[in-house]
């Protein structure tokens, strides 16, 4: 039984598994998949929407061997899709550098490609914006294409992919990231390349998160709405303290948040399912959807988290 981090969605899988080691391997697989429409991409399985879980007859592309990081130009690194962001941060820290945007309270975490597709924000977002603000370009492959292409942040497709949660059928092979030195004297190791290990993510007792985005001027209203929904939420979730992150608007938001052009509050409601059943998950989704719908200028993180449509499909299977 194959699951993702959320643990709510699961399927039996007995298909073929491919572990590419080069961009050419990936291109060949996607050329074949274009005719079969059967290839599912999976990084660390750190998502909750179930799109990294193949259906029984699918083929599975696992990115664990796409694990190289290269110091290509001062202030930048090129990172292959399968590198876990927690592992990357620890590696950079040892060299005197850091990723400006990093998910809080994780050891291994999602892959860099998964974090980009999720959107990505963290405790430094009040200063550095979202993860999307700290990616220079991505190298990706579309099914049926014979070569990879580099997509710069000036391209609209870059912003469509960021925060899409894998809804767009496009395989990300590599990302070029901005990095920061801890001290001005930190030496940039130009030309250095390393292969990083893959660590097991702890998903034994996962917290299910639901995130809502709203302009800062609406934060008090959102808090009141949340308090009003606490009783209903507590009936299906063992709630933990909500997370509040301010995201600085720097130049542009991903398409998911394109209606906004000011600083945002990312308000994450989390907990463990009181009863580990699909019905409990569906009830939680319904409560969150109702909360988000009750406010103007409030966007639910539907592309990267549990939503009713996905759970309805799971129930039908």
Residues 190 and 279 in one domain: no
Residues 182 and 78 in one domain: yes
Residues 260 and 162 in one domain: no
Residue 200 lies in a domain: no
How many structural domains is the chain composed of? 3
Phi-psi region of 17 (alpha: psi -120 to 50; beta: other; left: phi over 0): beta
Residue 180: exposed, middle, or buried by beta-carbon count in 10 A (0-12, 13-18, 19+)? middle
pLDDT computed for residue 278 by the predictor: 80
- Per residue in 30-74, pLDDT (tens digit) is 888 766 567 888 887 777 776 777 776 678 889 999 999 999 889
Check which CATH number belongs to the domain holding 101 and give it.
3.30.465.10
Residues 174 and 272 in one domain: no
Check which CATH number belongs to the domain holding 224 and give it.
3.30.70.2520
Residues 73 and 58 in one domain: no
Whether residue 222 contacts residue 243, with contact meaning beta carbons closer than 8 Å, is answered with no
Residues 75 and 178 in one domain: yes
Read off the tokens for 207: 């917290």
pLDDT computed for residue 155 by the predictor: 97
pLDDT computed for residue 314 by the predictor: 60
pLDDT computed for residue 69 by the predictor: 97
Residue 15 lies in a domain: yes
Residues 57 and 73 in one domain: no
Residues 218 and 266 in one domain: yes
Check which CATH number belongs to the domain holding 57 and give it.
3.30.43.10
pLDDT computed for residue 204 by the predictor: 63
Helix axes 219-234 and 278-293, enclosed angle (nearest 10): 150
Residue 202 lies in a domain: no
Residues 122 and 230 in one domain: no
pLDDT computed for residue 233 by the predictor: 96
Domain that holds residue 11: 2-62
Residues 272 and 290 in one domain: yes
Residue 203 lies in a domain: no
Residue ending a domain, choose from 169, 195, 221: 195
Reduced to 3 states, what is the DSSP secondary structure of residue 227? helix
Pick from 237, 246, 293, 303: nearest CA to 270: 237
Residue ranges in the chain whose pLDDT is less than 50: none
pLDDT computed for residue 63 by the predictor: 92
Residues 56 and 77 in one domain: no
pLDDT computed for residue 31 by the predictor: 85
């Amino acid at each position: 039984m194959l699951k993702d981090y959320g643990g709510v969605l699961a399927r039996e899988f007995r298909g073929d598994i491919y572990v590419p080691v080069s961009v050419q391997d990936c291109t060949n697989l996607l050329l074949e998949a274009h005719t079969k429409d059967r290839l599912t991409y999976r990084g660390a399985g750190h998502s909750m929407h179930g799109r990294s879980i193949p259906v029984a007859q699918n083929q599975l592309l696992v990115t664990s061997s796409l694990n190289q990081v290269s110091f290509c130009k001062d202030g930048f690194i090129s990172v292959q899709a399968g590198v876990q962001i927690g592992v990357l941060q620890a590696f950079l820290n040892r060299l005197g550098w850091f990723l400006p945007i990093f998910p809080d309270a994780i050891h291994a975490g999602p892959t860099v490609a998964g974090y980009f597709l999720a959107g990505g924000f963290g405790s430094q977002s009040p200063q550095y914006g979202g993860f999307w603000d700290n990616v220079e370009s991505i190298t990706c492959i579309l099914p049926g294409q014979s070569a990879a292409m580099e997509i710069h942040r000036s391209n609209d497709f870059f912003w469509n992919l960021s925060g899409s949660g894998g809804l767009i059928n496009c395989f990300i092979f590599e990302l070029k990231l901005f990095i920061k030195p801890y001290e001005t004297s930190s030496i940039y190791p130009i030309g250095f390349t390393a292969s990083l290990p893959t660590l097991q993510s702890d998903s034994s007792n996962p917290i299910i998160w639901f995130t809502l985005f709203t302009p800062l001027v609406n934060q008090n209203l959102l808090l009141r709405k949340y308090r009003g929904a606490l009783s209903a939420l507590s009936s299906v979730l063992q709630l933990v303290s909500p997370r509040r992150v301010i995201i600085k608007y720097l130049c542009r938001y991903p398409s998911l948040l394109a209606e906004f052009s000011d600083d945002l509050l990312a308000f994450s409601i989390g907990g463990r399912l009181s009863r580990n059943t699909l019905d409990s998950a569906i009830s939680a989704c319904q409560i969150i959807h109702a909360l988000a719908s009750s406010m103007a200028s409030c966007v639910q993180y539907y592309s990267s988290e549990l939503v009713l449509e996905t759970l309805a499909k799971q129930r039908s299977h």
